[in-house]
Amino acid sequence: EAGVTQFPSHSVIEKGQTVTLRCDPISGHDNLYWYRRVMGKEIKFLLHFVKESKQDESGMPNNRFLAERTGGTYSTLKVQPAELEDSGVYFCASSFINEKLFFGSGTQLSVL
């Protein structure tokens, strides 16, 4: 069974540019989550989709971040314009129920 797939695995952009991260959840998982880990700190929740609907977006830092989940399948997380403090590892996870989250390998984002 394929796991959660994220790409790109790494992205290096300049401040002010736009970056879009993609996540493909495990087939059949209605729940999809985005988390972020800034260097050396804890993994922080960004938002949670149930199918195509945003169940909880309380962790989104500001309106420069936009998450979508088209048709309840894959999801994208766009950062526009990117700032230095947006650097970190962005993880996507999916689950069948609201427990036992399966994480992808993450996207390492570096904003220079």
Partner 1 sequence: GENVEQHPSTLSVQEGDSAVIKCTYSDSASNYFPWYKQELGKGPQLIIDIRSNVGEKKDQRIAVTLNKTAKHFSLHITETQPEDSAVYFCAARLFSSNTGKLIFGQGTTLQVKP
Cβ 16 to partner 1 shortest distance, Å = 29
Cβ 72 to partner 1 shortest distance, Å = 15
The residue whose two tokens read 């495990």 is 26
Pairing relationship of beta strands 53-56 and 65-68 according to DSSP bridges: unpaired
Burial string for 19-34 (b: 16+ CB within 10 Å, else e) reads bebebbbbeeebbbbb
- Asked if residues 88 and 38 have their Cβ atoms less than 8 Å apart, the reply is yes
Cβ 100 to partner 1 shortest distance, Å = 6
Cβ 37 to partner 1 shortest distance, Å = 8
The alpha carbons of the chain give a radius of gyration, in whole angstroms, of: 13
103 binds partner 1 (CB under 8 A): yes
Q: Which of residues 41-60 bind partner 1 (CB under 8 A)?
A: 41-45, 48, 55-56, 58-59
- How far does the chain reach from its first CA to its final CA, in angstroms? 37
74 binds partner 1 (CB under 8 A): no
Residues that bind partner 1 (CB under 8 A): 4, 6, 31, 33, 35, 41-45, 48, 55-56, 58-59, 91, 93, 95, 98-106
